[in-house]
Amino acid sequence: MPSKHKLHPVPLHDERSLFTLVENRSVYTMDACELNVFETHQRAKEVNLQFGDWVLTSMLRGKKVMHLAGRPGFDYLPGESVIVPPHELMKIDFPEAGKETPTQCLALAISAEQIRSTIQLLNERHTKAEAGEEWRLGAEHLHLANNLELADIINRLIKISLNDKSREKDILVNLALRELLVRLMQTQAREFFEQNYRRLASSHRFGYVIQYIKENITTKIDVDKLSEKACMSRANFFRKFKEEFGYTPADYVLKERIRLAKKHLRNPFNSVTQACYMAGFQNLNYFIRAFKKEVGVTPKAYQLTLLN
């Protein structure tokens, strides 16, 4: 799973104020969504949870084991989110929850009208690069690592929902929800292409571009020429690529190189300098700055954490 950005935890309840020790629920209701904050203070198994709308769940503290229909159970940790389709039953285990180690998770239920209007707006004003494709919230890629943009917008929604008492609260929430839905669809698109770019390379221009980037990541990549490989004008290519994935082509190349550098740093026999050049970077100082900005620590500190 890619690098994960954790959300800001919500203050926990005092145990005496809890209605239940398992999935105690606090609800914050707005016009277009409902934010639920659940906390669990004792171990439990096979706790059922279900919503009538699309729900974005995000872990704040502790660990769950999540079971969704037709999928094997998986560990669910802070820095991760799970999108759950309407009426899908979640079965949840809390193997480590306790008084000193509570689990906390949010569930943001988004109205069908809010999703429909956002997708309609995108399909009208920001058509996909390939004819016949449309924006959609998919049910295939549900378990996501929070990137910086996704974490920022979820944190903003939490802050507005819990703390904003202004008359403009619902307007601010609706604007944030639109951004959230765009970020979610872009994140799903990246997941889809990461898993399927080889299969798509012969039929989808972005599949072909991503395959080219991955196969040539250790060499100099002329980002401007990527538009030629996509058979698009430079301006249109850059615009559509960023709309589809949430990153510019140059950002995507940078993130791919950092991903490769992290792989090389896992080998204790590789120095930071070796990892830098093996990942396609041409300047060591730039590599260190870019790595710290993306990962949060320097390459050397990252390598040391793996060895300890």
Structural domains in the chain, sorted by start: 1-196 (2.60.120.280), 201-308 (1.10.10.60)
Q: What is residue 274's three-state secondary structure?
A: helix
Task: For residues 222-238, give the mean pLDDT.
Answer: 93
Tokens describing residue 101: 């180690």
Residues 233 and 225: beta-carbon distance below 8 Å: no
- Sorted by sequence, the CB contacts under 8 Å of residue 164 that are 6+ apart come out as 172
Average pLDDT over residues 283-307: 93
**pLDDT, average across residues 177-188:** 94
Q: What pLDDT was estimated at residue 249? A: 96
Question: Computed over its alpha carbons, how large is the radius of gyration of the chain?
Answer: 21
125-178 tens-digit pLDDT: 999 999 889 999 988 889 999 988 999 999 999 999 999 989 899 999 999 999
Closest CA to 36 of 158, 146, 137: 158
Residue spans of beta strands (DSSP E) within the chain: 24-29, 33-40, 44-49, 54-61, 64-67, 74-76, 80-84, 90-94, 103-110, 143-145
Q: Where are the alpha helices (DSSP H) in 78-142?
A: 112-125
pLDDT at 2: 59
Rounded CA separation 47/97 (Å) = 13
The percent of residues above 90 in pLDDT, for the chain, comes to 83
Cα angle vertex 296, ends 274, 193, to 5°? 80
**pLDDT of the residue at 233:** 94
